Structure 1
Amino acid sequence: MVRSTFWSMVATIDPRRSGDTRYFRRLVGTDVDQALAFFGGDYDFRTPSVRRTRTQPHWDFAGVGDDRMSLRSSRFLVDLRSDSRVDDQFLVAWMRSGSSTITYGGESHDLEAGVPVVLPFCDTYELHHRDIALNLVHLDAGFLRSVVGEDDFAFEPLRRPSAEGMRAWQSVVRAHSATWLDVDHELTATAQRDIAEAFATAAIAAFPQRSRWRSTVTGSGPEHERLRRALEYVHEHAREPIGTPEIAAAAGLSPRGLQQSLRRHLDQTPGDLLRGVRLDGARADLVRGDRDDTSVADVARAWGFGHLGRFSATYRSRFGELPSESLRAR
């Protein structure tokens, strides 16, 4: 007979001494039901299915966090399938070992060891973990959106960061994780916020942003899936010389079908769609840019705007300020 074990520890730092409001939590066990109850509480597991991969299952969790951010590591040495959903936090996850497939929007994504991705937010996805070990950064959605300055900001889920984004993310992880996780030493309230903001800023720089209008495409029918493919193609290729024929082909639609679908669901033409994505991309580059190294003309050309005057006028109409003002605001 295999006996199950469970061990738990929760600790908090006395905030009266330094303003340090971090908590530390560590749990270890072999009981699958206890693991599902714990992980399911944070990740809203729905109808989970578990198959043992060894005689004695094992799971563990460790996390340090506050109301803005938590750094977590976990292992669950079983074969787990479940639907999952998180509505109040952005989750950056990277796998240490095992295997994991996330199915979302009709597509399956295999996580790669050591490669961080943002999990779907405010939407249900299907996960299949096998003997998985994960690192996660949880960022409170309200906090991160306050850093961005946009109430409806969201990431494009399950997209690899660029090489530059990966370096920025790894730099922050290396610089601040040890300090955050060291609960034996107090952090001032200012230091806590600074570290959380560093992680939030790195995530914003590293991972693709979901345009505001994209999140309005809801539904699971064939037309919705083709429209999502069109949007994903535009996001991935917006810097390239693409137009309606290329977008329609990527979505599996005729040019006329693409126009009708966009008009029906987004009240846009393919040209409106492409222009909006390019403007959003240009704005992101300007807001993040260094005035000494970035010029409005270079950013405009990089995003396919050949006429600087028309770009500035369109930009101002969309964002309420000139491109040069966005660059100076940094």
Structure 2
Amino acid sequence: MDCRLLNEKSLVFAHADPHAVSDYVNQHVGSHRILLPRNGHPEASLSHRTFGSLDLCQISYGSRVQVTSPALETLYHLQILLRGHCLWRGRGEEHHFTPGELLLINPDDPVDLTYSDDCEKFIVKLPATFLDKACSENQWRHPGEGVRFAPRHRLEELDGFVNLISLVCQEAEAEQTIPQVQEHFAKIIASKLLGLPGSNVSREPLTAGCPSFERLVEFIDNNLKQDISLEQLAELAHMSARSLYALFDKHAGTTPKHYIRQRKLETIHARLSDPRASVRNVTEVALDYGFLHLGRFSECYKSTFGELPSDTLRRRN
């Protein structure tokens, strides 16, 4: 699988100091540190593109290098080995990844990777909130402990995935690209991953056999600009507050209050991202959806989407 998915348009470093490349990766792809041999003068290369909610990165360090991190915290990494091999250590196991294999790193997984001299990887960075949202939009059951993947997979487990990634890279490097198209492709990638064997996501429909929950979801989505109380939801579902919490925990893996806040944030994010939406400023949109403490809203938004709401609004223009 000796290929380049990103071309020269996305090249950030070529024949560069590996530490300079590592610093860039820390800023844009994920926190880590590298350990290089004491001898030699390796030359690293890196290509990078932001694509909707994802980051695409193609990297080689030009030398045997150990990459470590305590955890990625709020990120998932899908790593496709293009050339060479990479020794992965984790969960008391180790495995030499070779071209055609996928490594999936969960947010709380420690990272311990050793690249061969000729190792080259393609990395897709996915925010945890993006996979959570994909679960909700597909109406699959979201695990209460968060989405988790087995680390080792082969490309053939994701039929057509290489072609999809290639198409995504072409779209990312196009002269003119539409944010909605980028986000559409990003959602397809997320949905493909959520269907992998070894994930803890049940693809049983979220609302299957539960008209009460389906009715609550519809009510919430139709009244996002209102101050929705737990009492309203409990009355609508004809159940006690305790049963209401149990219902949301079972079908959404969270509390009613957190679910409502998340849906409001997702709707605000969609409006700020959409050039067709009429938005004068962030404050107006935040107040529309009941966020009265703007500083707290910005913190919550950044924690969810990895950037300030003003940055989202600026990027769409």
Tell me by how many angstroms 1:287 deviates: 4.2
Tell me by how many angstroms 1:102 deviates: 1.1
Q: Out of 105-114 and 79-88, give the one that drifted further.
A: 79-88
Match of 2:112 among 123, 126, 130: 126
1:109-131 superposed Cα distances (whole Å, 9 cap, x missing partner): 21121222312322312111122
Check the 8 A contact 2:51/2:183 in 1, yes or no.
no
1:116-152 superposed Cα distances (whole Å, 9 cap, x missing partner): 2312322312111122210111112111210112375
Check the 8 A contact 1:145/1:152 in 2, yes or no.
no
Q: How does 1:225-264 map to 2 (within 5 A)?
A: none
Q: How does 1:32-71 map to 2 (within 5 A)?
A: 32-41=18-27, 42-46=29-33, 48-51=34-37, 55-66=40-51, 68-71=53-56
Ranges in structure 2 where 5+ consecutive residues have no aligned partner = 1-8, 137-141, 207-246, 253-317
1:13-43 superposed Cα distances (whole Å, 9 cap, x missing partner): xxxxxxxxxxx56222432332332334443
Match of 1:210 among 187, 200, 204: 200
Per the alignment, do residues 204 and 197 of structure 1 end up closer, same or farther by CA in structure 2, a change over 3 Å counting? same
Distance in 1, Cα, partners of 2:11 & 2:155: 33
Distance in 1, Cα, partners of 2:83 & 2:38: 17
Distance in 2, Cα, partners of 1:120 & 1:320: 22
Paired position in structure 2 for 1:114: 100
| RMSD between superposed Cα atoms in Å | 3.3
Distance in 1, Cα, partners of 2:73 & 2:52: 15
Distance in 1, Cα, partners of 2:81 & 2:130: 25
Tell me by how many angstroms 1:181 deviates: 2.9
Tell me by how many angstroms 1:63 deviates: 1.3
Per the alignment, do residues 120 and 112 of structure 1 end up closer, same or farther by CA in structure 2, a change over 3 Å counting? farther
Q: Which amino acid in 2 is paired with 1:159?
A: R
Check the 8 A contact 1:168/1:206 in 2, yes or no.
no
Match of 2:146 among 145, 153, 166: 153
Ranges in structure 1 where 5+ consecutive residues have no aligned partner = 1-10, 12-23, 212-282, 289-315, 322-330
Q: Sequence identity, in percent?
A: 12
Q: Which amino acid in 1 is paired with 2:68?
A: D
Paired position in structure 1 for 2:82: 96
| Relative contact order, higher structure (CA 8 A, sep 6+) | 2
Paired position in structure 2 for 1:180: 172
Q: Secondary structure at the match of 2:152?
A: coil
Tell me by how many angstroms 1:92 deviates: 0.8
Per the alignment, do residues 34 and 159 of structure 1 end up closer, same or farther by CA in structure 2, a change over 3 Å counting? same
Q: Which has the larger radius of gyration?
A: 1
Per the alignment, do residues 141 and 320 of structure 1 end up closer, same or farther by CA in structure 2, a change over 3 Å counting? closer
Q: Which amino acid in 2 is paired with 1:155?
A: R
Distance in 2, Cα, partners of 1:32 & 1:89: 23
Check the 8 A contact 1:82/1:126 in 2, yes or no.
yes
